[in-house]
Structures are given as structure tokens and as C-alpha cells.
Amino acid sequence: MAEVTAHHGLFKDTNLHVDDTGGPGRPVVLIHGWPLSGESWKYQVPVLADAGYRVVTYDRRGFGRSDKPLTGYTYDTLAEDLHTLLTELDLRDVTLVGFSMGGGEVARYAGEYGSERLHSVVFASAVPPYLMQSGDNPDGPLTKKQAAGMAASLTKDKDAFYDGFVTEFFSAKGELKVTEAQRREARALCDQADKAAALACMAAFGATDFRDDLTKVAVPALVLHGDSDATVPFEGSGARTHAALVGSEVHVIAGGPHGVNVSHADEWNRALLDFLAR
């Protein structure tokens, strides 16, 4: 375990909690979804490490064990945090794996910092290219009314909101696809999130347009998604990202909910390892 100082502020530095398996293998950086933490990768880290990769996870600012500053929850700053992590740990030839909200950091990192440190990227149940439905984004799966309703529900009663959110996170066609213990583990991670950070990041992942960022992805890419994702539907997100990334690969997991890396961990891990080996 370690900390990386992601931002030197006027009054206080922002430190990110980092877990790094170390070793000489090619690095794989796992970027967690909202509103969880790096601990949500518990079914991936040992598998990747056993395969010889150096696995790095970190908690996004405002979440998990990282600092929770008042500001810095735009994707420009979040991508800067990721860039600082790669620089401070001197990681090169990296595969970035961005889950859900984390896919936005992958896209914005490529858009802002290019591919110098990258080997490949993975968009896993990820929010790009652009969630918010609008006149110039009619296929966006998130309406402004839905976004406002989510923000209002989280503001009113975060415990009730998180409980419902996590249940949907792991459900496909209304059926929970994980054990109750697994659902509760994820629910507990939500309680580590700062409420203001969660609201700000909700606004960011809903309303940020990554379409231009995707044009700057110049390394091999994999889109990994469940076909029954009710949180970030494949048709409005993963399918469009795959279409935007010429030459990208796609692996769709039948019956997979949003949290498919837990519900279908074996298939998810195999698809990632196959991609990493190429």
C-alpha cells in the first residue's frame, strides 16, 4: 500500500491511496467504478498477478481511502490524477482498464496525454462515448430527467439510494446475479465515498462528452460489457465505443449486469487475459 500525491494545492495536497503488487511484469492499472474503490477489483487482482502482471489499483479522489477534497471532480482533473500516478510510479507500457466511470478517465487520459506510456486500453461497462441524451447525441442512454432524479435521490437519502443502486448494479432483467454477501461488500464500499464527491462525479460521468477523446486512442482497445447492463446499457455505450475505435475488439458477456466483473468473474478475467496476451 502507498500514497501518491496527485495534486499540490494551495492549502492541502491531495493524496490517492494506491495498492501495487509490484514485480517486473507489464503493468495493468485498474480504475474503479462509481461510487466504489480499488477494493472492488478483488476478483481481478490475484488472477492478474498470478499471470505475471504488475497490478496497480487506486481509489479515486473523494472515494475509498483517498483524500476527499472539495474540488477536482471534473474529468480533466481526474485524468491528471491518473497521469500523476503513472508518472510517480514510472509506469510504462501500461494497460489501462477503466470500469464504468473509470472508462471516462481512460478516454480523457488518451485525449490529453496521448499514448506514450500506454500499451493498450480496456473500456469495461464504461460510460464513453457520451451518456447524456441531447440533440447532437440522440443515442445517449441517460436522459436529463433521469440524471436529475438520480442526483435528487442521492441528495435526499444516500443510504436508500446506494442500496437500490448496488442492487441494480448486480442485477440483470430484475434478477440479482451475485450473492447477498457480494452485494453487501459493494454496498459497504459506497459508505466510504464523500457525498459531495459522489454528486460531483455523478454529474461528470453523466454529462462529459468523450467522443473527441476516443479519436485519439492510438493503441489496441477492448470493449468488455454485459449484455444485460441496466446501469450503463451496452447499446448506448459499449457498442458505440467499439464502433468509434477502429480495430477495437469487443467481448459481450451474455446475461451480464453492470457489475459483470463480479457476477461473471471467470469469463471476464479470461477475456481480459486473452486481450493482454496479444
Active-site annotation, residues: 100, 229, 258
Q: Provide the 10 A C-beta neighbour count for residue 173.
A: 9
Q: First vs last Cα of the chain: how many Å apart?
A: 30
Burial of 217-246, coded b for 16+ CB within 10 Å and e otherwise, reads: beebbbbbbbbbbebbbbebbbbbbbebbe
Alpha-carbon gap, residue 219 to 162, rounded angstroms: 35
Residue 69 contacts residue 14 (beta carbons within 8 Å): yes
Alpha-carbon gap, residue 149 to 206, rounded angstroms: 12
Q: Which of 16, 73, 21 is nearest to 46 (CA)?
A: 21
Non-local CB neighbours of 22 within 8 Å, separated by 6+ positions: 54
The secondary structure of residue 41, as a DSSP letter, is G
Cis peptide before 27 (omega within 30 of 0): no
